[in-house]
Amino acid sequence: MIMQDTRLDIEATLIFNSVHERVSPRLSVLIPFFRESPAELMKALNTIATDVRDEIEVVVLDDGSRRPELSLEVMDLLDTLNIAICFIELKHNVGRAKGRNRLVDAARGAYVLFLDADMLPDQDNFLERWVDMTRAEAPVVFGGFSLLKAPKSKAYALHTQMAGHSDCLDAAKRLESPEKYVFTSNLLVRKDVFKTHDFDPEFRGWGWEDVEWAMRVSADFGIDHIDNTATHMGLDTADVLLSKYEQSGANFARVVRKHPEIVTRYPSYKMARLIKALPFGGSLRGALKSTVQSQSLPLKARAFALRLYRAAIYANAL
């Protein structure tokens, strides 16, 4: 079935598979994508959904990719899978925050699980554990990242080093700063909670919209963490990481303005303030960028330089 939808001033086409109308889901798995295929994740979810097939739906959203081959790939999958699927195709790109808000609007479950298109569940009981968490009625739960299934390639060695240092943390470590370690890539939210705190659509580009959301939600509902991990398959090269950090400066500054009492405790903020006080910030950024890009330097040195480069970007935005 195909529908047209213009809610929230977002022109969209909605396509449902034949299973969709037969399922009344408890959990809606929400997968946004932009110019990358969600097909492997969709197939993986279908494979492991055996015991919870009647309790879940999957909602995928193409955020204005304008790549017909991607649309065809997803549409060809719809009726080969025996889980309920809704495919939303946006005519124009609306960004990470607004696109995820639109996904929640389409969800029928009392709970939503945000998964990025480049993730893969680590364990076969991944969905069962999330459905069990919905029965516990927890407001917000983050399941964690891993690199268990990630590609082993020298091109992604720097990202692997960075993720292992700051992202792939167990639940006990994440609970030390619950709002800081929340990402929209393995995140369970009760839908009524999200309706009181959606993502801020003023965030542009890459980064921080999920952490800022978590800062608001944690004050009202708290945030729990468990170890129910998914692998981040979409590792980036050094140049792509640099580009993403360069996009994130304005978003970081927005979080500082909205939540200074929280962000000023973060090491990234303290380092940014220190760098901002230096008289040679511009030349420092150039030197750090060259260090990050140098294949001849030790990986730990390049990762340290990348963290400093990120802080220098933030310093320039403050």
Using the 8-state DSSP alphabet, how is residue 150 labeled?
Answer: -
Name the nearest CA neighbour of 15 among 82, 74, 83: 74
pTM: 0.90
Average of per-residue pLDDT across 3-20: 75
The answer to whether residues 30 and 104 touch, using CB atoms and an 8 Å cutoff, is yes
Kindly list the distances between the CA atom of residue 97 and the CA atoms of 56, 194, 207, 273, in Å, as whole numbers in the listed order. Answer: 23, 12, 10, 27
Structure tokens at 22: 């037969």
242-272 tens-digit pLDDT: 999 998 999 999 999 999 999 999 999 999 9
Domains of the chain, earliest start first:
2-235 (3.90.550.10), 237-318 (no CATH)
Q: Is the pLDDT of residue 2 over 60?
A: no
The answer to whether residues 195 and 113 touch, using CB atoms and an 8 Å cutoff, is no
Q: Which long-range CB contacts under 8 A does 256-261 form with residues at least 24 apart?
A: 256/318, 258/212, 258/215, 259/212, 259/215
Q: Is the pLDDT of residue 204 over 90?
A: no
292-303 tens-digit pLDDT: 999 999 999 999
110-150 tens-digit pLDDT: 999 999 999 999 999 999 999 999 998 899 999 999 999 98
